[in-house]
Amino acid sequence: MADAAARPAAFVPADPNFEARVRDSFARQPFMEIMGAALGAISPGRVEVVLPFDAKVTQQHGFFHGGAMGAIADVAGGYAAFSLFPADATVLTVEYKINIMAPGKGERLVAAGEVLRSGRTLTVVRVDVHAEADGRRVHCATGTQTLIRLDGKSDGKA
Amino acid sequence: MADAAARPAAFVPADPNFEARVRDSFARQPFMEIMGAALGAISPGRVEVVLPFDAKVTQQHGFFHGGAMGAIADVAGGYAAFSLFPADATVLTVEYKINIMAPGKGERLVAAGEVLRSGRTLTVVRVDVHAEADGRRVHCATGTQTLIRLDGKSDGKA
Amino acid sequence: MADAAARPAAFVPADPNFEARVRDSFARQPFMEIMGAALGAISPGRVEVVLPFDAKVTQQHGFFHGGAMGAIADVAGGYAAFSLFPADATVLTVEYKINIMAPGKGERLVAAGEVLRSGRTLTVVRVDVHAEADGRRVHCATGTQTLIRLDGKSDGKA
Amino acid sequence: MADAAARPAAFVPADPNFEARVRDSFARQPFMEIMGAALGAISPGRVEVVLPFDAKVTQQHGFFHGGAMGAIADVAGGYAAFSLFPADATVLTVEYKINIMAPGKGERLVAAGEVLRSGRTLTVVRVDVHAEADGRRVHCATGTQTLIRLDGKSDGKA
C-alpha cells in the first residue's frame, strides 16, 4: 500500500539556502551558546543539535539535566520545521511533549528533530534524544512538537 | 555506532501466550465493541487496532471522530505494552498525547502502538494512526503514551 | 500584581448566539450520540460534556473506558474554543494530552474544557474530567489541548 | 458536591523538613545556577522557580528562550512533587508537556509547579509560567508533568 506521507520524497525546502539560514539563526541563540550546544547534521526537514557533557548542564545527580535535554530537543525540532520554510518566515513553538526514557548519561546528547507533517500554518515534528558514550547510543527521550510558521517576519532580532 | 535501544531484538515477551492474552482482554472491552473496532496484527511490543468506517464513529463533518481516533490509539498502545507483561499483570494508561495531522477520512483507521521502552514499572509507547482508502494510506495522527504495569492483578473484570 | 490573563473578564464571545451554535454542532456528532454523552453547562470559553455510566462505554474492568474519557475531554475542549469563535468559523483539534489520575468509577463523568488563551489562529484549552457518584467528585483526568480556527468554513457537514 | 481531590487540605508533606530538602537539592543543580534561576515560594506540593531576564537565557529574537522556560517549568514541577516525598526518596521526570501561549518577554519568568495527584509511585503536577514586568503578569506557558518517586535513593550526587 502506497504511503502518502512517506517522508524522504516529501520534503523539498522552499528555500534552497535553508542550511545557511538554520546555521545563522542558531548562532544568534545565546542560550544555546552558554549551554555549549552545537548543530549536527542538517537536511531538509531534519536537524540535529549536539550537547557535549559539561558539569554546567547537569542536575543534582551529575547527569545531563532533563531541562537541558528538553531545551535541545525543542531547538532541534524548531529548526527541522524552519528548514522547510520560505526565506521570509520565522518559527514559534506552539507546544512540545517529551518522555524521558533513560537518564542522560554519556559523553554527549544528540537531539534530532524530524518533520512528520509540514503544513502551511502548522508543522508537526518528532524529536528524539540519544545519549552517546564509548561508541554506544541509548535512546533517552522521545516526543512530539507543534510549531507555527509566521510569514513576513524576519528571523532576525526584533 | 551500536544502538542499545534497537527495537526488533529487544522485545521478548515474558509470557509466550501473549497474543491470546491480548485477544482475550480486548474481547472484554464493550466500548471497542460498540465502536466496531477489531485487533489487527499483533507481535511482541506492537499491536494494531482497526476501525472500519461507520457513521456511528463520525463527527459533525462526516469524518472519523477525533475522539474515536484517540480511543483506538490509546487501546493499541495499551496492548502493545501489555503484550510484554507477565501473565499475572495488568496495564493502566498514565497519560497520552496525540497530534492530529490530517482529517480521519477513509475506509478504515489503523492505529499501531509500538513499545519504545519497556521498564519494570513504566512502559513508553509510540502510537500512530493511518487512514486507509483505495489502496493508499495517510498518516493522520501520532503520539506517545506512558503506561504502568500492575503486578499480581488479574486483567479480568474486578 | 494585575494578571493580564485573568480569565473571567477576558472572554467575550464573537457571536452572541454561541450557545445555540455549540448545541447545534454537538447534536450533529453521531459518536457522542452512541456513547450517550450530552452537553452540560455552557458559558463563553467553558463547556461541559456529561457521560452517564453505561456498560457500553466501559473497559475490561467494568470502569469507564479511558478512550471514552479522552473523547469527551477532546469534545468539551473543542467546544470551549468554538464558543468564542465568530459564526462563520469551525474548529479542528491540533493535539491534546491527557493524564489519567484515577480510574473512571462512578455514576457519570463530567469533562470541562476551559479556554486559557484565545488567539486569532490557535486556542489553548485546559480540560479536566471528574467522576461523580453519591454526591462526591473525584478529579480523574487533566490535560491541555491546542485547537485551530478555520475561518469561512461552515461547521455543517461537508 | 464535595470534591475528594480538593487541593489545599490534601497535601501533608511526609517530611516536615521538606523546604530545606528542596532548597538543598536545588542548590546542587549546576544547570539552574548557570541560568541564574532561583527558588521562589515553597509550600507542600507547590514550588516556584524564578528566572530573571539576562541575555544568556534568550533566543534569536531577544526574548526568554522557550527551552529555558521549559527547563524551569520542569524543575518547579519536579520539586513540587519532591516536597511531598519522604526524606529517603528522590524524584525523576517521566514526561512533561508544555504549551507556549505568549512570548517570554519581561523582567522575570516565574514557573510554578502544583501537585494535582500525589500517588505512592506517580505524581501528576500542573506547571504554569508567568512573565512579569512593570507590575503586570502574563500567563505565557502551561502544562502537565508526570514524575516517579524512587524510594531508598538519596537525592545526593550518585
pLDDT digits (tens, 9 = 90+) for A79-109: 999 999 999 999 999 999 999 999 999 999 9
In a domain, D2, yes or no: no
In a domain, B101, yes or no: yes
ipTM score of complex: 0.91
Query: Could you report how far apart the first and last alpha carbons of chain C are, in Å?
Result: 47
95-124 in chain A: CB under 8 A from chain C: 95, 97, 121-122
In a domain, B2, yes or no: no
pLDDT of residue D1: 46
Average pLDDT on A34-51 reads 98
- Residue A20 has a CB neighbour count (10 Å cut-off) of 11
3-state helix, strand, coil in chain A (%, to 5): 25, 45, 30
Domain around C28: 14-151
pLDDT of residue C4: 46
In a domain, B115, yes or no: yes
pLDDT of residue A2: 47
In a domain, D128, yes or no: yes
pLDDT of residue B51: 98
Inter-chain touch C135–D101, beta carbons under 8 Å: no
In a domain, C5, yes or no: no
In a domain, A6, yes or no: no
16-75 in chain A: CB under 8 A from chain B: none
Kindly report the pTM of this predicted structure: 0.93
pLDDT of residue A153: 77
State the greatest distance between any 2 C-alpha atoms of chain B, in Å, as a whole number. 50
Give the chain C residue nearest D3 (alpha carbons). Answer: C137
Using CA atoms, how far residue C45 sits from A94, B113, C73, C76, D125, in Å, is 20, 34, 14, 10, 23
Report percent pLDDT > 70 for chain C: 92
Give the domain CATH number at C93.
3.10.129.10
Number of domains in chain D: 1
- Which of A96, A148, A151 is the best residue to mutate to test the C interface, defined by the most C CB atoms within 10 Å of its own CB? A148
User: Which residues of chain B neighbour D148 with C-beta distances below 8 Å?
Assistant: 121-122
Chain B: partners with 3+ C-beta pairs within 8 Å: A, C, D
Average pLDDT on A106-127 reads 97
Inter-chain touch D157–A72, beta carbons under 8 Å: no
Question: To the nearest whole number, what is the mean pLDDT of chain B?
Answer: 92
In a domain, D9, yes or no: no
3-state secondary structure of A138: strand
